[in-house]
Amino acid sequence: MSEDLDAQLIAALQQDGRASYSELAARVGAPRTAVSARVQALLGSGAVEIVAVAHPQLLGLTSLAHVSVAVSGPADDVVEALCATDASVFVSAVSGAYDLVAELRVSSAHELYEALAGLRALPRVRAVNTLLYTDVVTSVFMPQGPLRGDVRVDDTDRRLIELLERDGRMPYVELARRAGMSPSAARARVGRLVTSRALHVAAVVRRGTGGSGGSGRPALGAGLNLGGDDAHVTGFLAALPGVEFVARTVGRFDLVVTVGADSTTRLHRVTERLKALDGVRGLTTWAHLEVFKEHYSRGVARTSA
């Protein structure tokens, strides 16, 4: 019962990390007291963290890529190098033909090439395969859609973003106190940032943290090869419970997907449904075995105003 409730709460918090306990209770159909207890338990265990992420465009990050790395021998040195670079927001050991996958977010194609060149030059790296994101269809790790053209942020907005990066569920009273404004003004500012897609606040499952609840949720990556129009497939994926990320890509796959579930059995059922979809010509999957880095927050520079 609690595992099912946890899964529903995680899904709801991935949509809106600042939803109130009353709103969450209405969404999952459970008593508010039970919802409050489970959310606090998940957050307290470190299994789930509520993070605020500014839109990559607001940060000047216009080149996003999924990188698969094959390593000869132990991967420790390669993992350390990937985790140390600011370009990487996600680094994971995986099963399958490659040993590691990473997501890179940088400011230009040239910067991406330089990052990949540095990765290829590492002694144990024997192959690097890169997929360029052309469009992020859905993601719990960033705002959805392009940044609105009329977005302007000032020092107060930056301060609120910084505070929410540290604690995505910080109460408005505390946000207001630290930012030097009224709670109603803080609420209005945060609402404007979210509505304009400058900011997204959501739950991130910390896999392999050793805590209870969400840390035991396995995750699967998948690369899809499509035939014809992808609208049917992307629409199906965007609505599928457990899907955390979908991106259109240029490279060996047409779509890259991340799916989380409370068991490997459910992940298997998802892959079977994907293989049965009209338009899916090929499916390659990999299991996330250990996540070494998952850090999507980055302060908004003053030049972004």
Domain 2-45 has CATH 3.30.750.24: no
DSSP class of residue 243? E
Q: Say how far apart CA 185 and CA 285 lie, in whole Å.
A: 46
* Confidence (pLDDT) at 149: 76
* Confidence (pLDDT) at 212: 38
What are the CA-CA distances from residue 150 to residues 54, 158, 195, 228 (Å)? 16, 16, 12, 35
Per-residue pLDDT tens digits of the chain, which is 305 residues long: 466 888 889 888 988 899 999 999 999 999 999 999 999 999 998 888 898 888 888 888 899 999 999 999 999 999 999 999 999 999 999 999 999 999 999 999 999 999 999 999 999 999 999 999 999 998 877 777 777 777 888 999 989 999 998 899 999 999 999 999 999 999 999 999 998 888 989 888 876 433 334 445 789 999 999 997 788 899 899 888 888 899 999 999 999 999 988 788 989 999 999 999 989 999 999 999 999 998 877 656 544 33
What are the CA-CA distances from residue 133 to residues 201, 205, 282 (Å)? 22, 23, 19
The domain ranges of the chain are 2-45, 63-142+207-294
Q: Say how far apart CA 145 and CA 148 lie, in whole Å.
A: 9
In CATH, what class is 63-142+207-294? alpha beta
- Reported as half-sphere exposure (CB side, CA atoms, 13 A), residue 202 has a value of 25
- Reported as half-sphere exposure (CB side, CA atoms, 13 A), residue 169 has a value of 19
Is 78:100 a contact under the CB 8 Å cutoff? yes
* Confidence (pLDDT) at 156: 93
* Confidence (pLDDT) at 282: 95
* Confidence (pLDDT) at 216: 59
